[in-house]
Amino acid sequence: MSDESSNDTLPHYTWPLLLAGQKALVTGANSGIGKAVATGLGRSGADVAINYITDEDVAEAMVKEIEGFGVKAIAVKADVSNEDEVRAMFNTVLDAFGTLDILVANAGLQRDAAYDEMTLEQWNKVISVNLTGQFLCTREAVKEFKRRGVREEVSAAAGKIICMSSVHQVIPWSGHANYASSKGGIDMLMQSMAQELAPLHIRINSIAPGAIRTPINRKVWDSPDAYAKLMKLIPYQRIGEPEDIAQAAVYLASDMSDYVNGSTLFVDGGMTCYPGFATGG
Protein backbone atom coordinates (compact mmCIF):
# COMPACT_ATOMS: atom_id res chain seq x y z
CA MET A 1 0.00 0.00 0.00
CA SER A 2 1.38 3.44 -0.85
CA ASP A 3 1.57 6.27 1.71
CA GLU A 4 -0.99 8.26 -0.21
CA SER A 5 -3.51 5.47 -0.01
CA SER A 6 -2.99 4.78 3.68
CA ASN A 7 -5.43 6.11 6.19
CA ASP A 8 -4.82 7.90 9.44
CA THR A 9 -8.46 8.86 9.93
CA LEU A 10 -9.99 5.43 10.34
CA PRO A 11 -12.83 4.96 12.81
CA HIS A 12 -12.46 2.79 15.86
CA TYR A 13 -14.48 -0.28 14.97
CA THR A 14 -16.35 -1.89 17.86
CA TRP A 15 -18.03 -5.28 17.95
CA PRO A 16 -20.60 -5.58 20.73
CA LEU A 17 -22.14 -9.06 21.02
CA LEU A 18 -25.27 -8.08 19.10
CA LEU A 19 -25.61 -11.46 17.39
CA ALA A 20 -24.98 -13.88 20.25
CA GLY A 21 -26.43 -17.33 19.56
CA GLN A 22 -27.29 -16.60 15.92
CA LYS A 23 -26.22 -18.71 12.96
CA ALA A 24 -24.91 -16.97 9.85
CA LEU A 25 -23.84 -17.88 6.34
CA VAL A 26 -21.73 -15.48 4.27
CA THR A 27 -21.16 -16.25 0.60
CA GLY A 28 -17.90 -15.31 -1.06
CA ALA A 29 -16.54 -15.07 2.46
CA ASN A 30 -12.82 -15.70 2.08
CA SER A 31 -11.77 -12.43 0.47
CA GLY A 32 -12.53 -8.73 0.39
CA ILE A 33 -15.82 -7.52 1.83
CA GLY A 34 -17.10 -11.05 2.53
CA LYS A 35 -14.07 -11.85 4.64
CA ALA A 36 -14.51 -8.77 6.81
CA VAL A 37 -18.26 -9.41 7.12
CA ALA A 38 -17.80 -13.05 8.17
CA THR A 39 -15.17 -12.04 10.71
CA GLY A 40 -17.32 -9.19 12.01
CA LEU A 41 -20.36 -11.44 12.47
CA GLY A 42 -18.16 -13.89 14.40
CA ARG A 43 -16.78 -11.10 16.59
CA SER A 44 -20.39 -10.09 17.26
CA GLY A 45 -21.23 -13.55 18.63
CA ALA A 46 -22.67 -15.42 15.64
CA ASP A 47 -21.63 -18.89 14.47
CA VAL A 48 -20.38 -18.40 10.92
CA ALA A 49 -20.34 -20.53 7.79
CA ILE A 50 -17.72 -19.29 5.36
CA ASN A 51 -18.64 -20.03 1.76
CA TYR A 52 -15.80 -20.03 -0.74
CA ILE A 53 -14.99 -21.26 -4.22
CA THR A 54 -11.17 -20.94 -4.41
CA ASP A 55 -8.37 -20.50 -1.84
CA GLU A 56 -9.53 -23.16 0.62
CA ASP A 57 -6.50 -22.43 2.81
CA VAL A 58 -7.74 -18.89 3.43
CA ALA A 59 -11.20 -20.18 4.36
CA GLU A 60 -9.68 -22.73 6.76
CA ALA A 61 -7.49 -20.07 8.39
CA MET A 62 -10.62 -17.94 8.86
CA VAL A 63 -12.34 -20.88 10.59
CA LYS A 64 -9.52 -20.93 13.16
CA GLU A 65 -9.58 -17.15 13.61
CA ILE A 66 -13.36 -16.99 14.05
CA GLU A 67 -13.38 -19.95 16.45
CA GLY A 68 -10.99 -17.85 18.51
CA PHE A 69 -13.90 -15.50 19.22
CA GLY A 70 -15.64 -18.37 21.08
CA VAL A 71 -18.15 -19.22 18.34
CA LYS A 72 -18.45 -22.04 15.80
CA ALA A 73 -17.17 -21.68 12.26
CA ILE A 74 -17.14 -23.93 9.21
CA ALA A 75 -15.91 -23.51 5.64
CA VAL A 76 -18.22 -24.66 2.84
CA LYS A 77 -17.21 -24.85 -0.79
CA ALA A 78 -19.94 -24.05 -3.32
CA ASP A 79 -20.46 -22.14 -6.54
CA VAL A 80 -23.41 -19.86 -5.74
CA SER A 81 -24.55 -19.93 -9.36
CA ASN A 82 -25.01 -23.72 -9.27
CA GLU A 83 -28.38 -24.82 -7.88
CA ASP A 84 -27.20 -28.27 -6.72
CA GLU A 85 -24.13 -26.87 -5.01
CA VAL A 86 -26.19 -24.20 -3.25
CA ARG A 87 -28.64 -26.83 -1.99
CA ALA A 88 -25.75 -29.01 -0.78
CA MET A 89 -24.19 -26.00 0.95
CA PHE A 90 -27.40 -25.26 2.86
CA ASN A 91 -27.68 -28.92 3.91
CA THR A 92 -24.12 -28.77 5.25
CA VAL A 93 -24.78 -25.52 7.15
CA LEU A 94 -28.07 -26.73 8.62
CA ASP A 95 -26.47 -30.04 9.67
CA ALA A 96 -23.61 -28.19 11.38
CA PHE A 97 -25.57 -25.35 13.03
CA GLY A 98 -29.11 -26.75 13.32
CA THR A 99 -30.67 -23.71 11.67
CA LEU A 100 -29.84 -20.35 10.05
CA ASP A 101 -30.72 -16.82 11.21
CA ILE A 102 -28.61 -14.61 8.92
CA LEU A 103 -27.63 -14.87 5.26
CA VAL A 104 -25.23 -12.36 3.74
CA ALA A 105 -25.51 -12.92 -0.02
CA ASN A 106 -22.18 -11.39 -0.85
CA ALA A 107 -20.45 -13.42 -3.57
CA GLY A 108 -19.83 -11.28 -6.61
CA LEU A 109 -17.34 -10.59 -9.35
CA GLN A 110 -16.55 -8.28 -12.25
CA ARG A 111 -15.78 -9.14 -15.89
CA ASP A 112 -15.26 -5.70 -17.39
CA ALA A 113 -15.34 -4.87 -21.09
CA ALA A 114 -16.24 -2.08 -23.48
CA TYR A 115 -19.89 -2.52 -24.41
CA ASP A 116 -19.35 -3.62 -28.02
CA GLU A 117 -16.60 -6.00 -26.96
CA MET A 118 -18.42 -7.66 -24.09
CA THR A 119 -18.81 -11.36 -24.75
CA LEU A 120 -21.93 -13.31 -23.88
CA GLU A 121 -19.73 -15.35 -21.57
CA GLN A 122 -18.69 -12.21 -19.64
CA TRP A 123 -22.30 -11.10 -19.44
CA ASN A 124 -23.58 -14.50 -18.31
CA LYS A 125 -20.82 -15.04 -15.76
CA VAL A 126 -21.54 -11.78 -13.94
CA ILE A 127 -25.33 -12.16 -14.03
CA SER A 128 -25.19 -15.79 -12.91
CA VAL A 129 -22.90 -15.22 -9.94
CA ASN A 130 -24.01 -11.75 -8.80
CA LEU A 131 -27.76 -11.97 -9.45
CA THR A 132 -28.82 -15.59 -9.96
CA GLY A 133 -26.45 -16.57 -7.15
CA GLN A 134 -28.34 -14.26 -4.79
CA PHE A 135 -31.66 -15.72 -5.95
CA LEU A 136 -30.50 -19.30 -5.33
CA CYS A 137 -29.01 -18.58 -1.89
CA THR A 138 -31.80 -16.33 -0.62
CA ARG A 139 -34.40 -18.88 -1.75
CA GLU A 140 -32.82 -21.61 0.37
CA ALA A 141 -32.49 -19.26 3.35
CA VAL A 142 -36.14 -18.25 3.08
CA LYS A 143 -37.21 -21.91 3.12
CA GLU A 144 -35.42 -22.40 6.43
CA PHE A 145 -36.70 -19.12 7.93
CA LYS A 146 -40.29 -20.03 6.98
CA ARG A 147 -39.97 -23.54 8.33
CA ARG A 148 -38.60 -22.38 11.66
CA GLY A 149 -40.19 -18.99 12.37
CA VAL A 150 -38.98 -16.60 15.06
CA ARG A 151 -36.46 -17.81 17.65
CA GLU A 152 -37.35 -15.29 20.33
CA GLU A 153 -34.29 -16.09 22.39
CA VAL A 154 -31.97 -14.70 19.68
CA SER A 155 -33.93 -12.25 17.50
CA ALA A 156 -37.30 -10.56 16.95
CA ALA A 157 -37.19 -11.56 13.27
CA ALA A 158 -37.64 -14.99 11.72
CA GLY A 159 -34.51 -14.40 9.65
CA LYS A 160 -32.43 -11.67 8.13
CA ILE A 161 -31.01 -11.44 4.62
CA ILE A 162 -28.43 -8.90 3.57
CA CYS A 163 -27.88 -8.59 -0.17
CA MET A 164 -24.49 -7.17 -1.09
CA SER A 165 -25.22 -4.65 -3.80
CA SER A 166 -23.12 -1.66 -4.90
CA VAL A 167 -23.37 2.06 -5.55
CA HIS A 168 -23.70 0.79 -9.13
CA GLN A 169 -27.28 -0.22 -8.45
CA VAL A 170 -27.90 3.51 -9.08
CA ILE A 171 -24.70 4.85 -10.68
CA PRO A 172 -24.37 3.82 -14.34
CA TRP A 173 -20.89 2.45 -15.10
CA SER A 174 -19.24 2.60 -18.53
CA GLY A 175 -17.30 -0.54 -19.34
CA HIS A 176 -19.18 -2.46 -16.65
CA ALA A 177 -22.69 -2.87 -18.11
CA ASN A 178 -22.95 -6.47 -16.92
CA TYR A 179 -21.92 -5.60 -13.36
CA ALA A 180 -24.17 -2.53 -13.06
CA SER A 181 -27.10 -4.52 -14.48
CA SER A 182 -26.55 -7.28 -11.92
CA LYS A 183 -26.56 -4.75 -9.08
CA GLY A 184 -29.64 -2.95 -10.41
CA GLY A 185 -31.30 -6.37 -10.51
CA ILE A 186 -30.33 -7.06 -6.91
CA ASP A 187 -32.22 -3.92 -5.84
CA MET A 188 -35.51 -5.19 -7.29
CA LEU A 189 -34.87 -8.74 -6.10
CA MET A 190 -34.28 -7.43 -2.57
CA GLN A 191 -37.34 -5.15 -2.56
CA SER A 192 -39.62 -7.81 -4.00
CA MET A 193 -38.49 -10.31 -1.38
CA ALA A 194 -38.89 -7.73 1.38
CA GLN A 195 -42.44 -6.95 0.32
CA GLU A 196 -43.40 -10.63 0.07
CA LEU A 197 -41.72 -11.87 3.24
CA ALA A 198 -42.20 -9.03 5.73
CA PRO A 199 -45.51 -10.50 6.99
CA LEU A 200 -43.50 -13.56 8.04
CA HIS A 201 -41.09 -11.30 9.95
CA ILE A 202 -38.27 -12.06 7.57
CA ARG A 203 -36.22 -8.92 6.98
CA ILE A 204 -34.38 -8.29 3.72
CA ASN A 205 -32.08 -5.32 3.11
CA SER A 206 -29.11 -4.43 0.92
CA ILE A 207 -25.79 -2.79 1.52
CA ALA A 208 -24.46 -0.70 -1.34
CA PRO A 209 -20.71 -0.27 -0.83
CA GLY A 210 -18.80 2.42 -2.67
CA ALA A 211 -15.09 2.02 -3.31
CA ILE A 212 -13.78 -0.35 -0.66
CA ARG A 213 -10.13 -1.39 -0.41
CA THR A 214 -10.32 -4.98 -1.72
CA PRO A 215 -8.67 -7.03 -4.48
CA ILE A 216 -11.60 -6.41 -6.90
CA ASN A 217 -10.62 -2.75 -7.39
CA ARG A 218 -6.90 -2.81 -6.52
CA LYS A 219 -6.02 -0.69 -9.53
CA VAL A 220 -7.99 2.32 -8.20
CA TRP A 221 -6.15 2.48 -4.86
CA ASP A 222 -2.71 0.92 -5.09
CA SER A 223 -0.90 3.85 -6.70
CA PRO A 224 -0.84 7.49 -5.55
CA ASP A 225 -2.14 8.73 -8.92
CA ALA A 226 -5.03 6.32 -8.97
CA TYR A 227 -5.88 7.11 -5.35
CA ALA A 228 -5.89 10.86 -6.00
CA LYS A 229 -8.24 10.32 -8.96
CA LEU A 230 -10.50 8.13 -6.83
CA MET A 231 -10.77 10.88 -4.19
CA LYS A 232 -12.52 13.09 -6.77
CA LEU A 233 -15.41 10.62 -6.50
CA ILE A 234 -15.52 10.39 -2.70
CA PRO A 235 -16.60 13.50 -0.75
CA TYR A 236 -15.51 11.92 2.54
CA GLN A 237 -11.93 11.79 1.19
CA ARG A 238 -10.95 8.29 2.16
CA ILE A 239 -11.40 4.90 0.59
CA GLY A 240 -13.73 2.53 2.44
CA GLU A 241 -12.29 -0.32 4.43
CA PRO A 242 -13.91 -3.79 4.43
CA GLU A 243 -14.69 -3.28 8.13
CA ASP A 244 -16.89 -0.31 7.24
CA ILE A 245 -19.13 -2.79 5.44
CA ALA A 246 -18.86 -5.38 8.21
CA GLN A 247 -20.16 -2.84 10.74
CA ALA A 248 -23.16 -2.10 8.51
CA ALA A 249 -23.81 -5.84 8.10
CA VAL A 250 -23.80 -6.41 11.87
CA TYR A 251 -26.31 -3.58 12.27
CA LEU A 252 -28.63 -4.92 9.55
CA ALA A 253 -28.36 -8.47 10.95
CA SER A 254 -29.17 -7.37 14.50
CA ASP A 255 -32.39 -6.31 16.18
CA MET A 256 -31.02 -2.73 16.25
CA SER A 257 -32.43 -2.54 12.73
CA ASP A 258 -35.65 -4.47 13.44
CA TYR A 259 -37.86 -1.89 11.69
CA VAL A 260 -35.58 -1.62 8.66
CA ASN A 261 -36.90 -3.69 5.79
CA GLY A 262 -36.56 -3.35 2.03
CA SER A 263 -33.88 -0.67 2.40
CA THR A 264 -30.51 -0.14 0.85
CA LEU A 265 -27.85 1.23 3.17
CA PHE A 266 -25.29 3.12 1.09
CA VAL A 267 -21.85 2.88 2.69
CA ASP A 268 -19.89 4.95 0.23
CA GLY A 269 -18.39 8.09 1.81
CA GLY A 270 -20.90 10.12 -0.21
CA MET A 271 -20.05 8.66 -3.63
CA THR A 272 -23.75 8.75 -4.53
CA CYS A 273 -23.96 12.50 -3.69
CA TYR A 274 -22.96 13.55 -7.23
CA PRO A 275 -19.50 14.85 -6.16
CA GLY A 276 -18.95 16.35 -9.63
CA PHE A 277 -21.57 18.97 -8.71
CA ALA A 278 -19.57 20.20 -5.70
CA THR A 279 -18.01 22.72 -8.08
CA GLY A 280 -20.07 22.35 -11.24
CA GLY A 281 -23.65 22.59 -12.42
Contact residues for ligand BGC (CB under 6 A)? 110, 166-168, 210-211, 216-217, 220
Least distance from ligand BGC to the Cβ atom of residue 217, Å: 3
Task: Check: CB of residue 78 under 8 Å from CB of residue 51.
Answer: yes
Q: What are phi and psi of 8, to 5 degrees?
A: -110, 15
Q: Measured from the CB atom, is 99 or 128 closer to ligand BGC?
A: 128
Burial-class residue 148 by CB neighbours within 10 Å (0-12, 13-18, 19+): middle
Query: For ligand BGC, which residue has the nearest CB?
Result: 166
Task: Identify whether 179 is a catalytic site residue.
Answer: yes
Q: Measured from the CB atom, is 39 or 214 closer to ligand BGC?
A: 214
From CA 45, how far away is CA 71, in angstroms rounded?
A: 6
Other beta carbons less than 10 A from residue 158's beta carbon: 20
Q: Measured from the CB atom, is 73 or 163 closer to ligand BGC?
A: 163
Residues 13, 179, 227, 236: which is the catalytic one? Answer: 179
Least distance from ligand BGC to the Cβ atom of residue 234, Å: 9
The secondary element (H helix, E strand) that includes residue 47 is strand 47-52
Q: Which residues, at least 6 apart from 280, have a Cβ–Cβ distance to it below 8 Å? A: none
Residue 265, amino acid = L
Least distance from ligand BGC to the Cβ atom of residue 247, Å: 18
Q: Measured from the CB atom, is 159 or 210 closer to ligand BGC?
A: 210
Least distance from ligand BGC to the Cβ atom of residue 267, Å: 11
Active site residues: 179
